[in-house]
Structure 1
Amino acid sequence: MSLKIAFIGVGNMASAIIGGLRASGYAGNAIVGSSINIDDHPRLEQRFGMTMHTDNKVAVAEADVIFLCVKPNLLQTVVEEFAPVVRPDQLFVSVAAGVEISSLEAWLKQPVAVVRSMPNTPALVGSGMSGLIANTHTTDAQKTWVSQAFDSFGSHVWIDDEAQMHTVTALSGSAPAYFFRILEVMIEAGIAQGLDEATSRKLATYAMKGAAAMVTELDEDIDQLRRNITSPNGTTQAALETLEDKGVHSLMTAAVDACAARSKELGKEFANK
């Protein structure tokens, strides 16, 4: 489908999505945005070839697909403000963490296609992972378009049960921060053993990057990949045994559980507003 797209809020995540769409061949003149940060408008227009507006209603009225990229605590006010110009044939894609589809449907005030997404920040470098779920008004053609849009800056999975979006948040949306923290500790350990910061950073980060590439590109189970580099009584075994002794399994499980629990709390808070 050749559609006119509007972005309500054009921050980092919106820029990542727009960049992916443009790289995949979408024309800049098919994209509009709306933002209160007027000083950013010339830069965005020059970078993407898009048109920026200050009035959300204007942007929404001329679009077929509307990406909602404002902060979750502001979303209700923003949506209810432009709701009078919403058309039944439009598709709304939300990237607001924790905001449930039922809330969006209530704020839009009429039956309309809605997709809730949970992308993550690696989208900024074309390596994003997004969880997606659609409401009953969303057609197969619209879902196909959304899939292609999100694949333009990474990959995606569709979720059938909205409750599982909390797990998506824990395993993907928030997860880059877990890996950043692990990298920080590894780099610090390398420095403590005598390496300079740049060398320690490069060794640790490329090891993580390479491990992720092996998991996604090689047709082998993760546990087999781990066994392939774990020689009996070798260096890797010593490290892995220490991780297990220190409780890596319970630690990471607790972190994922805490993230999902907080996501559930936020969802209830927005639903009760």
Structure 2
Amino acid sequence: MSLKIAFVGVGNMASAIIGGLRASGYAGESIVGSSINVEDHKNLEQRFGIRMYEDNQDAVAQADVVFLCVKPNMLQSVVEGFADAVRDDQLYVSVAAGIEINALEKWLVKPVAVVRSMPNTPALVGSGMSGLIANSRTTDEQKAWVADAFDSFGSHVWVDNEAHMHTVTALSGSAPAYFFRVLEVMIEAGMAQGLDEATSRKLSTYAMKGAAAMVTTLDDDIAQLRRNITSPNGTTQAALETLEQQGIEALVTAAVDACAKRSKELGEEFASK
């Protein structure tokens, strides 16, 4: 399905999506963007081969699919600003965290197809993971198109219950920060034992990268992968026993629960406006 695509707001996440679409073969002339940051327009046009507009309405009016990539606290005013250009045959895809579908439907006014997404920052390097949920007006063909779009810079999962988007946020949207924090601690621990920062960083990050690659590439159970490198009374066992003694399960579970809880609170705050 060859469609005209508009991006309202062209920051890092929109750039990742546009980059993925262009890399997958989507033509630059089929993509337009709008942003109040006029000083960035020339660079974006040269980088992606797209057309940029200052007025959101100019971009939205010509699109079949509109990606809403502005900050959550600005989204309502931005949508209301181009509402006159909304057509009921359009598909709207939101990447604004915490904004629920019913709020988007209300702001868009017309009965349009809406997909709410929760991508994450690894999309910037083609390794993103996105959670998706669609409203009842979204056709199977539109859902397939959206899935392909998000797969162009990583992968995706669909959820059927919008409440599960809070869990998506906790397990994927915010989760890269958890791993960055773990890496910071590991790197510091290596340096405390005498390694220079560059060496400690490379050892730690490639271990994490390799572990993730094994989990996503192999069919083995994760627990079995762990057992495969845990020799009885060996070095790995000593480390894992310490993690268990320090309460890794309770700690990680509490972090995920806190993230999901805050996501729900933010959603309620936006919905009440």
TM-score of the superposed pair, with normalisation by structure 2:
1.00
Give the percent of matched residue pairs that are identical in Structure 1 and Structure 2: 81
Taking the aligned partners of 2:237 and 2:83, their CA distance within structure 1 comes to 59
Q: Partner of 1:181 in structure 2?
A: 181
Structure 1 position 46 matched with structure 2 position 46: yes
Q: Partner of 1:214 in structure 2?
A: 214
Taking the aligned partners of 2:99 and 2:267, their CA distance within structure 1 comes to 6
Q: SS where residue 66 of structure 2 aligns?
A: strand
Q: SS where residue 6 of structure 2 aligns?
A: strand
Letter in 2 for 1:20: G
Moved over 6 A (4+): none
- The Cα shift of 1:84 comes to 1.1
- The Cα shift of 1:150 comes to 0.2
Taking the aligned partners of 2:232 and 2:89, their CA distance within structure 1 comes to 62
Taking the aligned partners of 1:61 and 1:167, their CA distance within structure 2 comes to 34
Letter in 1 for 2:260: A
RMSD: 0.3
Please give the residue correspondences for 1:82-101 in structure 2 after superposition, counting only pairs within 5 Å.
Answer: 82-101=82-101
Deviations 1:111-153 (A, max 9, x none): 1000000000000000000000000000000000000000000
Taking the aligned partners of 2:111 and 2:250, their CA distance within structure 1 comes to 44
Letter in 1 for 2:249: H
Q: SS where residue 160 of structure 1 aligns?
A: coil
Letter in 1 for 2:144: T
Taking the aligned partners of 1:201 and 1:36, their CA distance within structure 2 comes to 38
Taking the aligned partners of 2:218 and 2:8, their CA distance within structure 1 comes to 39
Q: Partner of 2:115 in structure 1?
A: 115
Letter in 1 for 2:139: T
TM-score of the superposed pair, with normalisation by structure 1:
1.00
Letter in 2 for 1:52: M
Structure 1 position 230 matched with structure 2 position 216: no
Q: Partner of 1:270 in structure 2?
A: 270
Taking the aligned partners of 2:89 and 2:105, their CA distance within structure 1 comes to 14
Gap regions ≥5 residues in structure 2: none
Q: SS where residue 165 of structure 1 aligns?
A: helix
Q: Partner of 2:136 in structure 1?
A: 136
Deviations 1:152-196 (A, max 9, x none): 000000000000000000000000000000000000000000000
Q: Partner of 1:197 in structure 2?
A: 197
Deviations 1:60-119 (A, max 9, x none): 000000000000000000001111110010000000000000000000011100000000
Taking the aligned partners of 2:206 and 2:238, their CA distance within structure 1 comes to 21
Taking the aligned partners of 1:115 and 1:159, their CA distance within structure 2 comes to 11
Q: Partner of 1:33 in structure 2?
A: 33
Q: SS where residue 33 of structure 1 aligns?
A: strand
